[in-house]
Structure 1
Amino acid sequence: MKPHLGFTISFLASTIVTAAFAAPLPPPSRIEPKADVVNGIAIRADVERLSYISPRYLGIRPAYDACITETLGVVPKQQDCADAEYTYQDGRLNRDYKALLATLEHDDRQAAIEAQRAWLRFRDKDCAARAGRFGSDAGPTTQSTCLMESTAHRAQQLEDWTNTVKRHPAR
């Protein structure tokens, strides 16, 4: 089966755009002494990076990149890669969510539960809407990739949130 050309071009374009707009790290001599390293990326301490895009920052493993490379552009095989990474990221999301809830007091915990439920509904609808544009050939792979990337992003958000709460407990 040949990969859908529109999907391949779209994937390459989004990769280039992401790389072009990812915030560069400061030179090593300019990293603040209190810098954290998250998934191999140095960031300033006490900053929630809710919009940072780097796959490494999001915790997407290098094994996913290697898997995608091995597919040689075969779309169903790319879906297998995304599904395997999604399984990992979903476990990570659940661990990070439980860790966050354990750090929050009652009202904040309830707000976080409601936010997570809303996020899950959004993620599922958003990824389904994106996948529908590509039809039956690339649609399932697009949906799997979207679910995996969105889940990794949310897991990192929850991890950042937990770390912020730990550093700055409610007063």
Structure 2
Amino acid sequence: MPCRPLRCLPLLLAGVLAPALADDAPAYTRCMDAAGGVTSSMLDCIAAELGAQDVRLNRSYRAAMGTLGADQQTRLRDAQRLWIQYRDANCTLLGSLTGGSIDRINGAACLLGMTRERADELAQIGEGW
């Protein structure tokens, strides 16, 4: 029996949000729990955490750049620019697959997850890999 969209929504949300919730700050987890599946509230939670992760990403990028020689700095700068293009294109795709309101959550959760992962990578580089 095929899964109807409303019946499948909790499964879709679990699949999309599980990676985004994996290493989150307790405040983000509490916010998502309190959102109770309300799209606008969930988007507010994701946006707040994305802002925090973006600050972390920029801080980690600056730290990484400070540990690298000139050639490596150029490579990291180029890689970071390409990564931003990829992240944005990938999350735009994931945020457009169903045509429903879940797309907004999918796209935002994608941005959050990819930004967090990239901040982790850059932090490792900044710590000397």
TM-score, scaled to structure 1:
0.66
Partner of 2:118: 154
1:11 equivalenced with 2:13 (yes/no): yes
1:145 equivalenced with 2:114 (yes/no): no
1:89 equivalenced with 2:78 (yes/no): no
- Provide closer, same or farther for how the CA distance between residues 67 and 139 of structure 1 changes in structure 2, counting only shifts above 3 A: same
Further displaced range: 131-140 or 67-76 = 131-140
C-alpha distance in structure 2 between counterparts of 1:4 and 1:122, whole Å: 31
Structure with bigger helix share is 2
**Larger RCO: 1 or 2 (CA < 8 Å, sep 6+):** 2
1:13 Cα offset (Å): 3.7
Deviations 1:120-150 (CA, angstroms, capped at 9, x unpaired): 0000001010110132412112211111111
C-alpha distance in structure 2 between counterparts of 1:94 and 1:120, whole Å: 12
Of 56, 63, 77, 2:41 maps to 77
C-alpha distance in structure 2 between counterparts of 1:14 and 1:140, whole Å: 11
Between structure 1 and structure 2, the one with the greater Rg is 1
% identity of equivalent residues = 29
- Provide closer, same or farther for how the CA distance between residues 158 and 116 of structure 1 changes in structure 2, counting only shifts above 3 A: same
- Provide closer, same or farther for how the CA distance between residues 138 and 148 of structure 1 changes in structure 2, counting only shifts above 3 A: same
Deviations 1:72-92 (CA, angstroms, capped at 9, x unpaired): 111221111000000110011
C-alpha distance in structure 1 between counterparts of 2:108 and 2:21, whole Å: 18
AA aligned opposite 1:12: A
State how 1:44-123 maps to structure 2 within 5 Å. 55-56=22-23, 60-123=24-87
Q: Aligned-pair RMSD on alpha carbons?
A: 2.2
Matched residues, number: 125
AA aligned opposite 1:149: G
Runs of at least 5 residues in structure 1 that lack an aligned partner in the other structure:
19-52, 166-171
1:8 Cα offset (Å): 2.7
1:6 Cα offset (Å): 3.9
Runs of at least 5 residues in structure 2 that lack an aligned partner in the other structure:
none
TM-score, scaled to structure 2:
0.86
**Partner SS, residue 95 of structure 2:** helix
Q: Is the 8 A contact 1:83 1:145 kept in 2?
A: no
Partner of 1:126: 90
